Amino acid sequence: MKIKNTTTHYSSFSIVLHWLMFILIVTVFGSIELRELFDKGTETRDAFKMWHFMLGLSVLALVVVRLVVRVLAGSTPAIKPEPAKWQNTLAKLVHLALYVFMISMPIAGWLILSMAGKPVPFFGLELPPLASENKDLAKTIKEIHETVGEVGYYLIGLHAAAALFHHYILADNTLKRMLPLKK
């Protein structure tokens, strides 16, 4: 699997990471939303919450890999025809916001569990707490985490809508650069 981008396409490794991250984030959101279908204190509800925690921490691990690959992959493939400068600036801001989201949300979740005095599960392991117990601060961080999570829906939607706008309206190669190559 190639790591270096070409002038027209992201590397196969970058593409796999992008779409894997998409599936992972959808699953993180889905697990926390689906828990609402079950009564508090039930095993099923608790299992959905545990999956939310573990998959959220997986986002953190995968985003670190993505950042390393982004550096190793070289320059990003050019968009043809080149978009307006304001579109490039907006795209960079949205990508930055997505990376901040993918890093800060799992860390906030880890802090919430740590400060609530709860275990931090990660696929059979228990991660160490990031901070000492402080239930009041945990509650505040949880409220922020939930609000930022709701904003995340719009941020991800904006990212997807922009890709579709570029593909279907502007007819440039923005989306094609992140799709698997046809052999």
Whether residue 40 has pLDDT greater than 90: yes
Whole-number percent of the chain with pLDDT over 70: 98
Average pLDDT, the chain: 96
pTM of the entire predicted model: 0.93
| pLDDT given at position 182 | 63
For the cut 70, the answer to whether the pLDDT of residue 129 exceeds it is yes
**C-alpha pair distances (Å), 165 with each of 7, 10, 159, 161, 182:** 22, 19, 10, 6, 22
What is the predicted pLDDT for the residue at 1? 84
Distance of CA 67 to the CA centre of its chain: 12
